[in-house]
Amino acid sequence: MKNDMRKSIMKWGLSAFLAGIISLTTACSVAGDSDDLGSMALEANDMPDNGIYEGEWTVNKQVVDTAQLVVAGTMRVRLPERYLLGLCFPDGKDKGASVNIEPRNAPATIQVYAQGYSEQSQYMTFASATTQAEGYQLLFNTCSFDATINGVLCHFSLLSRENASAILQYGTEQWTLAIPVNTVAIMNSATGQTTRQELSATVTLYYNTKKRIR
């Protein structure tokens, strides 16, 4: 009896340890990237309701983009790149100078793990890496995308004080993603330099699927 109890405690302790590791892995990357630790999140929880969906990105209840969501072990969805680039370069300018912006329009790959559930919903958390901001504050690096700025490929990472999440509603079989953004980190691939665009207030991107098409 004591041995069984000891094995049970070790089992749950290991699960909690793995969950802690998974929470430090990268949640989103441009399609084609790989992350061995991120794969642990997929093995730890089978993605429910695989399929292809049509949906909308909204900010403050206003539709800013549309995109398809592919759920198959991971989630793949194109971020609202033009909206996000508009936050970084208001009026198409950088420090007053005009910039030529070309989004790559590549879907991001999102890895999640189960956080909890109810009779109506399944709750999931992005497997996000963390990065240190000024001082001691840690920010979640939830998602990323690429765009060409004045002919130079740049990598944009969405950073937030709170982690991103996903919810599956059982009744409608539809998904909702919620991605808060406080800072956008911009890495210039030519120079390797990274600059940060701090937002004056938290912007939360919501993605809601409207129908399943496959």
Give residue-wise pLDDT tens across range 159-192: 999 999 999 999 999 999 999 999 999 999 999 9
Give the model's confidence band at 92: pLDDT under 50 very low, under 70 low, under 90 confident, else very high: confident
pLDDT for the residue 46: 61
CA distances from residue 152 to 36, 66, 110, 192 in whole angstroms, order as listed: 29, 26, 25, 11
pLDDT for the residue 135: 67
67 vs 9, which has greater pLDDT? 67
14 vs 55, which has greater pLDDT? 55
Q: Give buried/exposed letters for 30-48 (b at 16+ CB in 10 A, else e).
A: beeeebeebbbbbeeeebe
pLDDT for the residue 191: 94
CA distances from residue 88 to 142, 157, 182 in whole angstroms, order as listed: 17, 12, 12
**Amino acid identity at 146:** D
Does residue 14 have a pLDDT over 70? no
Q: What mean pLDDT is predicted for residues 137-148? A: 94
Instruction: Give kind and range of the element (H or E) at residue 184.
Output: strand 174-188
Does residue 12 have a pLDDT over 50? no
Q: What mean pLDDT is predicted for residues 96-103? A: 89
Q: Whole-angstrom Cα distance, residue 160 to residue 84?
A: 14
What stretches of the chain show up as alpha helix (H) in DSSP? 2-22, 36-44, 81-88
Q: pLDDT tens-digit profile of 29-47?
A: 444 333 333 444 444 346 6
Contact 131, 141 (CB under 8 A): yes
pLDDT for the residue 8: 40
Residue among 159, 158, 176 at smallest CA distance from 167: 176
Tell me the pTM: 0.78
Q: pLDDT tens-digit profile of 108-132?
A: 999 999 999 899 999 999 999 998 8
Q: Whole-angstrom Cα distance, residue 85 to residue 18?
A: 35
How far from chain centre, in Å, is Cα 146?
14
